[in-house]
Structure 1
Amino acid sequence: MRELSVQLSLLNHQISAHFELRDTDFDCLDVIKRHGPLSPSALAKRTGLHAATLTGILDRLERGEWIARERDPHDRRAVIIRARRERNPELFRMFAGMNTALDGLLSDYTPDELELLADFLRRTAEAGRTATDDLVNR
């Protein structure tokens, strides 16, 4: 698991560097893409980052046109952050090599084996989220 984590971190580092993003900026962008739109406070809670740190990250992502800050339709005083979908093709191209490799790897498994692997990965991700939340809430 550690080797997988390291390799994926290195891949993400190369991709974030290509776009001249800091690793933490790229991580926040990924959280926004997966769980957004989010309020800045919800993003801070998910990432465990201090609000002042997050402000700088969001400023950089907005300048790079990766995100948009918009008024919350349910509370005009609040702001929500959404990922800008028009940048997705650039990201997809950068992950194409990994996606192609995974397609080849996964083709060796039966549907039942793929379900087992997917369940393991979901449960592993949840264990990681729980461990992270426990550290953030100490």
Structure 2
Amino acid sequence: MGEQSSEMEIVHLLRKVTVEFGLRQAEFASRNGMHPTDVRALICLLDAERAGTDATAGWLGAQLGLNSAGTTAVIDRLERLDHLTRTRDPRDRRRVLLAVDPRAVELGWAFFGQLIEKTVTVLRDFDESETEAVRRFLSAAHQAVTAIR
């Protein structure tokens, strides 16, 4: 096989990072009696919280690509494990909002904290323009990948 382009080298490096993250997520799920989809659900809920998005069962199902029954199963599993809370929306009592329980956040930090800290340390070696370039690339790569879905 011939020489690979610098673009393809970056694509392969990104793939290596995502595979490693996926392996860590699977290990976390296994150690904590969860299905990998449960971990994806927790990540979606944490992302929603950071974005100020109300997370409902319908919203979560759409994020995960699950039907209503599958979404209910994930929510029920996470609630049984004390990783998720359901509360009535104070603005609309008909809606139930989902949130990650603080104990689940602690569990996640205990497992992923070192990985996150090492990644942040790597980024601290970048100057502002390099960090912005990484942000732009990852945002655009994410848009490209989700556009294909």
TM range (shorter): 0.7 to 0.9
> For the residues of structure 2 that align with 1:47 and 1:74, how far apart are their CA atoms?
25
For structure 2, list consecutive stretches of 5 or more residues without a partner in the other structure.
1-13
Q: What amino acid sits opposite 2:109 in the alignment?
A: F
Q: Which of the two has higher C-alpha Rg?
A: 2
Tell me by how many angstroms 1:89 deviates: 2.0
Give the match for residue 15 of structure 1. 28
The superposition leaves residues 52-75 of structure 1 with CA deviations (integer Å, 9 ceiling, x where unpaired) of: 011111001001111111112232
**In 2: Cα distance, 1:60 partner to 1:43 partner:** 14
**Percent sequence identity over matched residues?**
24
Q: 1:69-113, CA deviations, whole angstroms, 9 ceiling, x for partnerless residues?
A: 111223222212111124312211211231232134223322211
* 1:1-138 aligned within 5 A: 1-36=14-49, 37-132=54-149
The count of corresponding residues between Structure 1 and Structure 2 is: 132
- Aligned partner of 2:57: which letter? P
Could you tell me the TM-score, scaled by structure 1's length?
A: 0.85
Displacement after TM superposition at 1:2 (Å): 2.3
Unpaired stretches in structure 1, ≥5 consecutive residues: 133-138
If asked which structure has higher relative contact order (CA below 8 Å, sep 6+), I would say 1
Amino acid at match of 2:41: C
Q: How much is the aligned-residue C-alpha RMSD, in angstroms?
A: 1.7
Structure 1 residue ranges, 4+ long, deviating more than 6 angstroms after superposition: none
TM-score (norm 2): 0.79
